[in-house]
Amino acid sequence: MSTDNAFSELGLGSDATEREVKAAWRRLVSQWHPDRNTSADAVARMQRINRAFEEIRNAGFRARPETPAADEGRADEADAPDRDAARHDAEEESVQPRRRPIQRKVKLSLEEAAAGCIKALRGRMTMACATCDGAGHQVLGGNCAHCGGSGAIPKRNFFGWPGGMTECAACHGGGIAQRTCPDCNGAGTHTRTYQLKVRIPPGVRQGDLLHVDGRRARGNPPPADLEIRVELLAHEFFELDEDGTIRCEVPVDGFAWIAQRTIEVPTLVGLKPVALRRDRLSYSLPGLGFPATRRGANADHVVIVKPIFPETLSAEQAHLLDHLIASASGADGEPIDKRLAAWSRQQRAWERGAGRASREQ
């Protein structure tokens, strides 16, 4: 069998690489092995497949075609070390195909999302063994010593009577000599752990997707890029509006509200003072809300106060209130406040008018 015929037998072009040849051989073996395929020409086809693989292996596998160097314009030209790193990454990328990104989720408080933060991510991945391409064994070449290259051995029943054929365990039905992969002990996979720190930019929102280039990670980097989905945790005090406004409802002492005292309210950056006014229940703190856009200016922090009065007054509170009420009237019993005094006069005038009308009837 010529080399060109061998490639054709495996359904490949003559420029196929070693990985492509092995993948095609495993696929055809799985399809045409006599234990899996009951057609009459299964055995003959298996022998041709094995001969084709041996012919290509003996002739030497094709080297992976060279890939032109990647454009270095992506690197910062003012930083030479970055150019070298970019060139190294481009060369490495031309040799190793990019893996599918690793999907992760990161949970952030509103404070972390507003200011930005650094999160440490750890994980592990089960990957195909690079030594055996996930097969769990390495092909040595030549016929398997256990089955003579047929891929099957006689099956013995009780008393040693023959009972048909079964797959050769030594070559997994391929008929070609092989050995258990020493790097993965035949599992075909290995577990790889990774650890990296990710910088979360200020102003991320619920559901935002952040992309992390795994090649730029230091220490124990992940085997692929990361796609990180942001999840904002519910806050004990704050509610976030679409425009970045933070809303917070604060219960306050009703007497302190009447007295227009100053209280401290929670914000994303800690406690801030607010001077209460009797004519207001809502207060806006400019620039203390959430970023309106990512890395943009912060919106306002809106505080809604809820005055709380005692459900039942103590004797001391009742006495103090009586004293306070009395202090609002002059020596003649008239209210000191002009608005209350005007109302009192109108009420007395109405009362006199109502009395005369009643007597005339």
290 plus 324 within the same structural domain: no
Is 257 inside a domain boundary?
A: yes
- pLDDT at position 69 is 39
Assess whether pLDDT exceeds 90 at residue 316.
yes
Q: Containing H/E element for 315?
A: helix 315-326
More confident residue, 283 or 15: 283
For residue 40, is it within any domain?
yes
Residue 256 and residue 300 in one domain: yes
The answer to whether residue 297 sits within a structural domain is yes
Tell me, what's the pLDDT at 155? 73
CATH code assigned at 166: 1.10.287.110
Over 90: is that where the pLDDT of 301 sits?
yes
Is position 126 within any domain?
no
pLDDT at residue 231 in the model: 96
Gap between the Cα atoms of 212 and 198, Å rounded:
8
| Residue predicted with more confidence, 100 or 338 | 338
Average pLDDT over residues 34-57: 77
Whole-number pLDDT of residue 66: 46
Compute the distance between CA of residue 179 and CA of residue 136 in angstroms, rounded to an integer.
9
In the three-class reduction of DSSP (H, G, I as helix; E, B as strand; rest coil), residue 140 is classed as strand
Same domain, 25 and 172: yes
Shared-domain flag, residues 12 and 161: yes
Q: Is 199 helix (H, G, I), strand (E, B) or coil?
A: strand
Q: What's the average model confidence in pLDDT over 208-235?
A: 88
| 3-class secondary-structure state, position 24 | helix
- The confidence score (pLDDT) of residue 153 equals 76
Confidence of residue 356 (pLDDT cuts 50, 70, 90): low
pLDDT per position as a tens digit, 135-168:
777 777 677 877 877 777 777 666 556 566 777 8
Domain shared by 169 and 251, yes or no: no
CATH number at residue 269: 2.60.260.20
C-alpha 99/C-alpha 321 separation (Å) is 75
Give yes or no: residues 36 and 156 share one domain. Answer: yes
Write the single-letter amino acid at 307: P
Distance CA 328, CA 312 (A): 23
Q: What is the mean pLDDT of the chain?
A: 81
Residue 252, in any domain of the structure = yes
Same domain membership, residue 331 and residue 294: no
Q: Which residue has the higher pLDDT, 312 or 360?
A: 312
Confidence band (pLDDT; 50, 70, 90) for 68? very low
Taking residue 36's Cβ as centre, other Cβ atoms within 10 Å add up to 12
pLDDT at 74: 29
The total number of structural domains in the chain stands at 3
Same domain, 278 and 329: no
**Does residue 35 carry a pLDDT above 70?**
no
Q: Assess if residue 19 is contained within a domain.
A: yes
> Is the pLDDT at 190 greater than 60, yes or no?
yes
Q: Is the pLDDT of residue 271 over 90?
A: yes
Note whether 7 and 143 are same-domain residues.
yes
Q: Looking at the domain assignment, is residue 321 inside a domain?
A: yes
Domain that holds residue 29: 3-64+137-180
148 and 43 both lie in a single domain: yes
pTM recorded for the entire structure: 0.60
- State whether 22 and 151 are in the same domain: yes
Q: Are residues 60 and 141 in the same domain?
A: yes
**Percentage, residues of the chain above pLDDT 70:** 83
